[in-house]
Amino acid sequence: MDDQQRQIELRRMQMVATGLLVLAGVVFVLASMWRDAAPWVPFVRAFAEAAMVGAFADWFAVTALFRHPLGLPIPHTAIVPARKASIAAGFGRFIETNFLSPDQVTAWIQRHDPVRRLAHWLRDPEQGEQVADIATDAIGGLLRVVDDEEVSQALARGLNQRIATIPAAPLAGRMLGILVAGGRQRDALMQLVSLLAEVIASNEKEIRRRIAGELPAWVPRIVDQRIYERLLEGIQRLLRELREDPDHPLYQQFTALIDRWIVDLQFDPQVQQQGEVLKQEILSHPVVRELAQASWRDLKLTLLGQSVSPSSTLRHSIMTAVGRFADLLERDPEWRAKVEHWVTAAVAALVRRYGHAIGEFVTQTVNGWDTAEVTRKIELQFGRDLQFIRINGTIVGGLVGLIIYSVSLFFT
């Protein structure tokens, strides 16, 4: 019900209450004029007289709550405007005590079982779509406002701190151990030699320039080309031999070298120290920060694209996760109890921490309202019911007056 409707209802009830007062006055006048017309007329007059007294008294009491009756500054009237600050403080304490108490919140959660209701609500595909829409919109909005430089720096710091706690040499030794345990030495050696052949083939000019720089000036320029060709042919021939001969001696030599590296990396203090130095050099290199920036940039662009597409995999994944979570809550009582415990603990902690602040906020909000506006709002909210006090006062006052008059007849 809006304020306009409340105003109409209040006016209607005021007219009813005032009409009863006027009716009692008319009856009193008529009964006074013809009090000897019949034996029962004095009883009617006594009822009407007491009804008027009750009606006036309750009219004064109800009116005094909101304004000075008849505009007269009678003490202890216009109570609501005069005590707005106390009312605001009391309202804030009422909210804090009765609605923001950890015990009250916990009892409400246990009584209404919101986790089961949440699971049932999430089972609806339309609700899952809404959750996915909200989540993707929130992700997109967050990504648009974050500072890319700060995020990339945080990623780089986190990466550095995490890697700094991991001993480099033992980790490399364990990785090599996994390589040996899987019997992949032959594949690894083939890949290394193949990579070496590709590097030599794709950097002919640079390699020939360096070879020429090491040769005497009187050596013909054709020599560096011959040396380069021999080098490339040798690597390519070695690669063919490795492919054709599973028992090539280089395999055994490579395996023995890896075994020695595994032992040195895990147990040689000098090798471990060198590994830490190398790790620190790598971590301090600008390429780590550039890698973090590039990774964050790619991730952000991917997520932004996913957040704006109605058929994105991100949205679909969130919907699927919401459905599975709802199934889990409905079918597994243990999980449902855990989630309820988490929710109860989280809400109780929030209420315990911020309940007083919310009560203070309510108090300050009410205090900030205009006094006339506060009075009007309270009168519109409760004024209609207060008019029943006037009506009841008229009727009850009349009945009490009738009883008193009747009892007085026994003493006259």
77 and 154 fall within a common domain: no
Domain boundary residue, one of 248, 275, 302: 302
Q: CB within 8 A of 149, min separation 6: which ones?
A: none
Q: For residue 66, tell me if it sits in a domain.
A: yes
| CA distances to 9, 63, 389 from 392, in Å | 18, 15, 5
Domain membership of residue 307 (yes or no) is no
> Is 203 inside any structural domain?
yes
Residues 207 and 71 in one domain: no
Residues 236 and 379 in one domain: no
Residues 288 and 373 in one domain: no
Q: Are 64 and 375 in contact (CB under 8 A)?
A: no
Type of residue at 362: V
Residue 72 lies in a domain: yes
Query: Which pLDDT does position 247 carry in this prediction?
Result: 77
Residues 288, 383 within the same domain: no
Residue 287 lies in a domain: yes
Look up residue 143 and give its two tokens: 């990504």
Integer angstrom CA distances of residue 71 from 68, 74, 360, 367, 390:
5, 9, 34, 24, 19
pLDDT (0 to 100) of residue 185: 67
3-state helix, strand, coil in the chain (%, to 5): 85, 0, 15
Instruction: Kindly state whether residues 263 and 407 are assigned to the same domain.
Output: no
Low-confidence ranges of the chain (pLDDT < 70): 1, 176, 179-185, 189, 215-221, 223-224, 228, 283, 285, 287-288, 296, 304, 306-310, 412
- 67 and 153 fall within a common domain: no
- Same domain as 291, residue 154: yes
Please tell me the distance from the alpha carbon of residue 300 to that of residue 345, in angstroms, as a whole number.
34
- Tokens in use for 326? 């709802």
pLDDT for the residue numbered 221: 67
pTM of the model as a whole = 0.43
DSSP code at position 166: S
Q: Is residue 354 part of a domain?
A: no
How far is residue 8's CA from residue 380's CA, in Å, rounded to a whole number? Answer: 10
Instruction: Say yes or no: 387 and 276 in one domain.
Output: no
Q: What is the 3-class SS of 218-240, one letter each residue?
A: CCCCHHHHHHHHHHHHHHHHHHH
Same domain (yes/no): 73, 161 = no
Same domain as 263, residue 392: no
Is 34:41 a contact under the CB 8 Å cutoff? yes
Q: Do 163 and 247 have their domain in common?
A: yes
Q: How far is CA 149 from CA 145, 153, 154, 211, 289, in A?
A: 12, 6, 9, 44, 10
The secondary structure of 251-292 as a DSSP string is: HHHHHHHHHHHHHHHHH-HHHHHHHHHHHHHHHTSHHHHHHH
93 three-state secondary structure: helix
141-197 pLDDT, tens per residue? 777 777 777 777 777 777 777 777 777 777 777 776 776 666 666 777 677 778 777
Q: Is residue 322 part of a domain?
A: no
For residue range 48-71, list pLDDT tens digits in order. Answer: 999 999 888 888 888 887 778 877
In this predicted structure, what is the pLDDT of residue 210? Answer: 74
* Domain count of the fold of the chain: 2
Quick check: is 314 in a domain? no
Residue 124, Ramachandran bin (φ over 0: left; ψ between -120 and 50: alpha; else beta) = beta
Residue at which a domain ends, from 302, 336, 357: 302
Q: 285: domain range?
A: 149-302
Which of 250, 269, 302 terminates a domain? The answer is 302
Query: In this predicted structure, what is the pLDDT of residue 23?
Result: 92
Contact 50, 400 (CB under 8 A): yes
